[in-house]
């Protein structure tokens, strides 16, 4: 029995506690309850939880940099020298030369004039849309964009118009409908729950024709796609004029935490002046910037190329095996390889069954994905080896639906 706080009841006001209780019942019935599971330890692709060792096929550490010795050493050195907290917001006294070094490295890597460090990808997207868009402006988005892009448009008070997934002509029509007000077209570079790559070259053309700004959220493309891992815009042949503003998160392929928004100087400067999620929050710990700088240097160098090769081989091995098993793969060439099972209960059962085979594959349910599109979101990394991929395939072949 959960203990409830007591609130005075009046006849006028709907009860917040009654509403919570009703939602709880609804969630139980819809198999939509989410549960935390603490990791005790990690070793390569294996994690220990509740006294068991599970092979992790749900994390986003695509290049295996989260536990890279050079990255750990950079964090430890910088923490020893500079302490842990940044002690203030960037524009107060929290901005450190290590933050500058990371921003400069990113600008160079992405071939963009300027880069700005945010606390996380979620905060960055809220800040970018709030800072650039006014009430009444138009924000056109792919229907499968990440939740924080939708939230950012709402926060800005912009008119949000979504187009069917990856439908370039529909994006063009959405932009044409409302000609007054400034317009921004935004898309995930790699879709976080589907793994496919947005048609960025075509969308850049659509944005250009409509006088709209294109903003690419490359949370999952950075480090994994394009020459030297520079991400999905580079992979689609877009330079800084085609992709004038882009997001890279530091918590996925780079194995850290935080986010960078890179682009044209006027745009990035505007974010520094106006993005509330930049202005009114404590700067990232400088040691984390130092660790990410080490991660970026690995990711864009020869070691990164080798990791991307290993990753590509693992993805190919998984897809080849999955096709032979007749599994319903999505058209994805990235580390995100979901298997859509449909309803929540079936997907939870499948996840539980994989768990019994020693594999951690999380069931992703609405509202993270559309209703009726629950899935096993399998992620493949450079750290997996052939035998581990084969273990996954073997366990999948034993699912009733497989």
Ligand X SMILES: *Cc1c(COP(=O)(O)O)cnc(C)c1O
CA distance 48 to 379: 18
Token pair listed for 311? 């990753």
Site for ligand X in 43-62 (CB under 6 A): none
192 is catalytic: yes
Point out the residue whose Cβ comes nearest to ligand X.
Answer: 121
Angstrom CA distances, 107 to 9, 65, 91, 211, 222, stand at 56, 20, 20, 25, 13
- Which of left, alpha, beta for 10 (phi over 0: left; psi -120 to 50: alpha)? beta
With binding defined as CB under 6 A, does residue 220 bind ligand X? yes
Q: Which of residues 112-131 bind ligand X (CB under 6 A)?
A: 120-122, 125
- Residues 373 and 229: beta-carbon distance below 8 Å: no
Q: Does 217 contact ligand X by CB under 6 A?
A: yes
Question: Least distance in Å: CB of 350 to ligand X?
Answer: 23
Exposure string of 130-163, with b = 16+ CB inside 10 Å and e = fewer, is bbbbeeebbbbbbebbbebbbebbebbebbbbbb
Catalytic residue selected from 90, 96, 99, 252: 252
* Binds ligand X (CB under 6 A): choice among 61, 105, 142, 188: 188
- Confirm or reject binding of residue 198 to ligand X (CB under 6 A): no
Instruction: Check binding of 96 to ligand X (CB under 6 A).
Output: no
Residue 93: CB atoms within 10 A of its CB come to: 11
- Residue 251 interacts with ligand X (CB under 6 A): yes or no: yes
CA dist 60 and 220 (Å) reads: 8
**Active-site annotation holds for 228:** no
Query: Which one among 192, 246, 344, 388 touches ligand X, defined by CB under 6 A?
Result: 192
Q: Is 285 helix (H, G, I), strand (E, B) or coil?
A: coil
Shortest Å distance, C-beta 191 to ligand X: 7
Nearer residue to ligand X within complex by CB, 193 or 327 = 193
Q: Convert residues 252-291 into a mask of x (bound to ligand X by CB under 6 A) and - (unbound).
A: -------x--------------------------------
Minimal distance, residue 257 CB to ligand X, in Å: 7
Span near ligand X by CB under 6 A; candidates 44-52, 212-220, 309-317, 358-366: 212-220
Residue 220 is among the residues annotated as catalytic for this protein: yes
> How distant is the alpha carbon of residue 139 from its chain centre?
20
Residue in this structure with the two tokens 């917040």, named with its chain if needed: 16
Residue whose pair of structure tokens reads 């030369």 in the numeric block: 97
| Count of residues touching ligand X (by CB under 6 A) | 14
> Of 58, 192, 232, 351, which residue is the catalytic one?
192
CA distance 238 to 202: 10
Dist. CA 48–CA 86, nearest whole Å: 32
Closest separation between CB of residue 190 and ligand X, Å?
7
**Could you count the other beta carbons within 10 Å of the beta carbon of residue 43?**
9
Catalytic residue of the set 68, 96, 99, 220: 220
Q: Please identify, among the stretches 35-43, 173-181, 217-225, 382-390, the one whose residues bind ligand X according to the rule CB under 6 A.
A: 217-225
Is residue 392 classed as helix, strand or coil in its secondary structure? helix
Interacting residues with ligand X (CB under 6 A): 120-122, 125, 146, 148, 188, 192, 217, 219-220, 249, 251, 259
Which residues are the active-site residues? Answer: 192, 220, 252
């Amino acid at each position: 029995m959960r203990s409830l706080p007591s609130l005075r009841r009046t006849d006028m006001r709907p009860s917040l506690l009654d509403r919570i209780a009703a939602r709880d019942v609804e969630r139980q019935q819809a198999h939509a309850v989410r549960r935390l599971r603490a990791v005790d330890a990690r070793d390569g692709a294996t994690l220990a939880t509740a006294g068991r060792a599970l092979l992790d096929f749900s994390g986003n550490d695509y290049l295996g940099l989260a536990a890279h010795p050079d990255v750990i050493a950079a964090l430890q050195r910088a923490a020893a020298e500079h302490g842990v907290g940044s002690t203030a917001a960037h524009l107060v006294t929290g901005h450190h030369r290590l933050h500058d070094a990371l921003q400069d490295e990113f600008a160079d890597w992405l071939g963009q004039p300027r880069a700005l460090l945010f606390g996380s990808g979620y905060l960055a997207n809220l800040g970018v849309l709030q800072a650039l868009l006014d009430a009444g402006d138009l924000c056109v988005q792919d229907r499968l964009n990440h939740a924080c892009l939708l939230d950012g448009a709402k926060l800005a008070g912009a008119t949000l118009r979504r187009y069917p997934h990856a439908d370039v002509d529909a994006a063009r029509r959405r932009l044409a409908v409302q000609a007054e007000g400034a317009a921004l077209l935004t898309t995930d570079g790699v879709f976080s729950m589907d793994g496919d790559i947005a048609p960025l070259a075509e969308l850049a053309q659509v944005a250009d024709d409509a006088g709209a700004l294109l903003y690419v959220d490359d949370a999952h493309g950075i480090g994994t796609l394009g020459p030297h891992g520079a991400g999905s815009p580079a992979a689609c042949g877009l330079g800084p004029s085609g992709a004038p503003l882009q997001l890279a998160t530091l918590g996925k392929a780079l194995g850290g935490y935080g986010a960078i928004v890179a682009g044209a100087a006027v745009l990035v400067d505007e974010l520094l002046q106006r993005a509330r999620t930049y202005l009114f929050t404590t700067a990232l710990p400088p040691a984390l910037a130092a660790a990410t700088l080490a991660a970026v240097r690995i990711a864009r160098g020869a070691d990164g190329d080798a990791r991307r090769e290993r990753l590509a081989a693992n993805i190919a091995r998984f897809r080849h095996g999955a096709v032979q098993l007749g599994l319903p793969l999505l058209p994805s060439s990235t580390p995100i390889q979901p298997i859509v099972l449909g309803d929540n209960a079936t997907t939870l059962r499948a996840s539980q069954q994989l768990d019994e085979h020693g594999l951690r594959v999380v069931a992703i349910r609405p509202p993270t994905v559309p209703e009726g599109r629950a899935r096993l979101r399998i992620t493949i990394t450079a750290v997996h080896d052939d035998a581990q991929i084969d273990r996954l395939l073997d366990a999948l072949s034993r699912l009733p639906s497989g």
